[in-house]
Amino acid sequence: MSSTVAFIGLGHMGGPMAANLVKAGHRVLGFDLVPELVATAGAAGVQPAGSAAEAAATADVVITMLPAGRHVLALYREQGLLAAARPGTLFVDCSTIDVADARTAHEAVVAAGHRALDAPVSGGVVGAEAATLTFMAGGGEAEFTAAEPLLHAMGRKAVHCGAAGAGQAAKICNNMILAISMIGVSEAFVLAESLGLDHQALYDVASTASGQCWALTVNCPVPGPVPASPANRDYRPGFAAPLMAKDLGLAANALRAGGVDAPLGLKAAEMYAEFAQGEGAGLDFSAIVRTLRPGGPH
Ligand code: NAD
């Protein structure tokens, strides 16, 4: 069944996601603060709206793909998005935001007489363009079922993770595993270098032994063993280090808020924050390997 969707935030991810909804036959009204992005989305069949509220006024579903929780909450409340929508509108927030902000957003949506789902994604810009994203959703069963046709038009997989905020929780837990494993794999390659062990030899063993993980076999941090990994193209992202730093910052907030003792997660957050502000600013997150070699980055 075709829906009318208001899509707010047409950036790197939102632009191609909105275009995929159009391709699947939905009517999509789009808005972004950057007029050029609205024009680009327009070329893909997204109908330009003059404001987020204007887009939401006639929509069945409002999808947001914004930088952070403060943008989502400001748009929902102070900027009048919830007030502009028809009663019972489904609000699906696909941005990666703080779990606490996601729960606050759910409460605001429900208090305004609407329905809410948090549905952050994994898969990056490539996944957004190819409609192969994975969605991790938090909210009621009925809301998830209602959103599913749209999620499947933009992605390959949608997992209902639990109640409000559970999608964001799954996202930051997954990315904390990824960050720790990438640092672990990188440290092992640096140790191998110091022991005179070949990258390829370590890869051949670890990729089929108990060291096997995505950070090794898909996004291998040294050039050679996995030809498609960013290490083979001077660490052009891929998954950029600042985005990993952002997600680990959210994980660190949640760890502290819950009093959870996770020394490796907190250390990874610290390492990626420093890396993203320095030489990692424009690089894939696997380039952290460069900072681990004796004598510093090279
Ligand atoms: P982006 O900065 O390219 O896009 C965000 C867009 O939101 C911008 O175009 C901005 O102008 C717009 N915006 C901000 N406030 C607005 C408002 N009030 N009204 C309308 N538009 C507004 O970011 P992105 O890379 O598309 O990422 C979006 C979200 O997806 C982030 O939360 C990010 O963490 C998450 N994410 C990104 C990736 C990735 O690889 N880029 C992967 C997974 C998840």
pLDDT single digits (tens) 262-288: 999 999 999 999 999 999 999 999 999
How many helices (H) and strands (E) in the chain?
Answer: 14, 9
* Whether the Cβ atoms of residue 151 and residue 137 lie closer than 8 Å to each other: yes
Residue 297 lies in a domain: no
- The secondary structure element, H or E, covering residue 135 is strand 133-139
Smallest CA-to-CA distance from 221 within 209, 245, 208, 238 is with: 238
Residue whose CA is at the smallest distance from ligand 1 atom 1: 11
What domain count does the chain have?
2
Q: Angle between the 241-258 and 263-277 helix axes, to the nearest 10 degrees?
A: 140
Last residue of a domain, one of 129, 148, 163: 163
Which domain-ending residue is among 126, 143, 163? 163
Percentage of the chain modeled with pLDDT above 70: 99
Last residue of a domain, one of 163, 186, 203: 163
Radius of gyration of the chain (CA): 20
Q: Is 296 left (phi over 0), alpha (psi -120 to 50) or beta?
A: left
Q: 201 by DSSP, 3-state: which? A: helix
Which residue's structure tokens are 């020394």? 263
Testing ligand 1's pocket by substitution, the residue of 8, 12, 133 carrying the most ligand atoms inside 8 A of its CB is: 12
Tell me: do 186 and 137 sit in the same domain. no
Q: 117 to each of 124, 134, 138, 256, how far by Cα in Å?
A: 20, 15, 6, 25
Q: What is the mean pLDDT of the chain?
A: 97
Looking at the structure, do residues 95 and 41 belong to the same domain, yes or no?
A: yes
Evaluate: CB of 31 within 6 angstroms of ligand 1.
yes
Q: Annotated catalytic sites, by residue?
A: 171
pTM of the model: 0.94
CA pair distance 182, 229, nearest whole angstrom: 13
Q: Is 168 in the pocket of ligand 1 (CB under 6 A)?
A: no
Contacts of 243 (CB under 8 A, 6+ apart): 285
Residues paired with 240 in a beta bridge: 284
The minimum-distance atom of ligand 1 relative to the CA of 124 is 40
Q: What integer pLDDT is reported at residue 295 of this predicted model?
A: 79
Residue 142 neighbours by CB distance under 10 Å: 11
Q: Is there an atom of ligand 1 within 6 Å of 91 CB?
A: no
Substitution candidate for ligand 1 out of 34, 46, 65 with most atoms within 8 A of CB: 65
Q: What's the distance, CA 210 to chain centroid?
A: 28
- Compute the distance from residue 71 Cα to the ligand 1 centre, in Å: 10
Q: Is the CB of 140 under 6 A from ligand 1?
A: no
CB distance 33 to ligand 1 below 6 Å: yes
Residue 196 in any domain: the answer is yes
The residue whose CA has the least distance to atom 39 of ligand 1 is: 124
Burial of 264 (0-12, 13-18, 19+ CB in 10 A): middle
Q: What is the pLDDT of residue 1?
A: 81
Q: What's the CA gap between 17 and 2, in Å, rounded?
A: 16
Give residue 68's domain range. 4-163
CA pair distance 181, 78, nearest whole angstrom: 40
Q: Looking at the domain assignment, is residue 298 inside a domain?
A: no
Contacts of 148 (CB under 8 A, 6+ apart): 158
Per-residue pLDDT in tens (0 to 9) along the chain, 298 residues: 899 999 999 999 999 999 999 999 999 999 999 999 999 999 999 999 999 999 999 999 999 999 999 999 999 999 999 999 999 999 999 999 999 999 999 999 999 999 999 999 998 888 999 999 999 999 999 999 999 999 999 999 999 999 999 999 999 999 999 999 999 999 999 999 999 999 999 999 999 999 999 999 999 999 999 999 999 999 999 899 999 999 999 999 999 999 999 999 999 999 999 999 999 999 999 999 999 998 765 5
Identify whether residues 19 and 154 lie together within a single domain: yes
Closest CA to 105 of 145, 140, 74: 74
Q: Tell me, yes or no, whether 8 and 156 share the same domain.
A: yes
Residue 131 belongs to some domain of the structure: yes
